[in-house]
Amino acid sequence: MSSIEPFTVSVSASELERLATKLSTASFPDELEESGWDYGSPLADVKRLTAYWKDQFDWRKVESKINELPNYRARIQAEGFEPLDIHFVHQKSNVVGAIPLLFCHGWPGNFLEVVKLLPLLARSGSGKSTPAFHIVAPSIPGFGFSEGTRKKGFGLAQYAETCHKLMQKLGYEKYVTQGGDWGCMITRTMGKLYPESCLASHINMPRGMKPSFSSNPILAIQHFLTPYSEKEKKGLGRTQWFLQEGSGYRNLQGTKPQTLGYALADSPVGLLAWIYEKLHDWTDDYEWTPEEVLTWVSIYWFSTAGVAAAQRIYYEATHPTPEGVHRTMTEQYIPHVKLGLAYFPMEITSLPRSWSRTLGPVVFESEHDKGGHFAATERPDAIADDLQKMFGKGGPAYEVVPGRSGYDFIAKL
């Protein structure tokens, strides 16, 4: 393939037939009475969605809609690994000086999380009163329609390298980022490894460490003197729930992803239940439609690298090579990169603000009264507003990318 080329999603007819066969012969477990969501995805919900997937869901219609997006593919090679064909959406603004923005998803998300942001940030006229952005949203390696490696050790450093090289290949020598979940950790790693290019990051899953007097004396004093707010107390309660009741998947995917992969690769119903539980538990009463749920699940089922590939990031991020990046490093101070933090009440981990401020030079913070883990899907208005305030005129990261303020004249396209 050439360096960068247009890309069209096209799932083979044989794959669609294989899915239909598996759905038609699916078997289901029993369920305890009045168990609700306590034990995981409810039987009635999974049966309802399976029937919809089998009888009503039209992948070709979804595929056609996806292909209306500006999809491309580029071959990127992380050092020490084979070249990978990386799929990405590249929505260029008609504002010449638009700000290059890498949008990075996580698990069980996908590149479609960016879709609701595109008309808010990238299209005609957005550079008149608010800054405009050139938006790049890849399927990260092993996810969606990007290839995955066949070698061990492809960890956060390599995900960051791939995304960085993609931005460079597109001509964006300097850029900003936005991410949640693994997107948060990947973009944080980009800031750690490429601070001369990744100049600012906005994240919607801020973590951090309790400030200590040895490493963060000012924050430690503030933490010592300032009681937690009611929102922070609720956030700690949410975090405790996640650690005790909602994080089992992380232990499985982070220790034996291959074993889990056999189940997910063989059973679309198993994959549906595995992902649907997270869509329910991690959001703030967001009303997922069957079409949305099954589109997300189908992207995993039809993924280029195979269903099992997406789980491996959990293992690699916690078993890095000696020169690699452990996920905990992304929760420590990273200098030089201006940082924006967005707090949503139903995020899976929500720590006191003084903890999150240990992550780096924080220049922007926002508190939102509604929203959860998939902020770009649940609250695209909030994410767009944050980015416009952070990078707009008068904002703390205004003109952070030299020559790309987001307000330059509009080109005729």
The catalytic residue positions are 181, 314, 373
Can you tell me the distance from the alpha carbon of 284 to that of 89, in angstroms, rounded to the nearest whole number? 27
Which helix or strand (DSSP H or E) is residue 51 part of? helix 43-55
Strand partners, 6: 72
Cα–Cα distances in angstroms (integers) from residue 363 to residues 193, 330, 340, 357, 379, in the given order: 20, 18, 6, 10, 21
Which helix or strand (DSSP H or E) is residue 90 part of? strand 84-91
Coil/strand/helix, residue 198: strand
Beta pairing, strands 84-91 & 4-6? unpaired
Can you tell me the distance from the alpha carbon of 22 to that of 19, in angstroms, rounded to the nearest whole number? 5
In this structure, the number of other CB atoms found within 10 A of the CB of residue 246 comes to 17
Coil/strand/helix, residue 275: helix
C-alpha closest to that of 98 among 413, 411, 386: 411
Q: Which amino acid is at 56?
A: Q
DSSP track, 129-166: HS--EEEEEE--TTSTTS---SSTT--HHHHHHHHHHH
Cα–Cα distances in angstroms (integers) from residue 209 to residues 231, 273, 331, 369, in the given order: 18, 33, 7, 24
CB–CB of 132/107 below 8 Å? no
CB–CB of 118/152 below 8 Å? no
Which helix or strand (DSSP H or E) is residue 290 part of? helix 290-301
Q: Is the dihedral of CA 277, 282, 285, 289 positive or negative?
A: negative
Structure tokens at 62: 């979804």
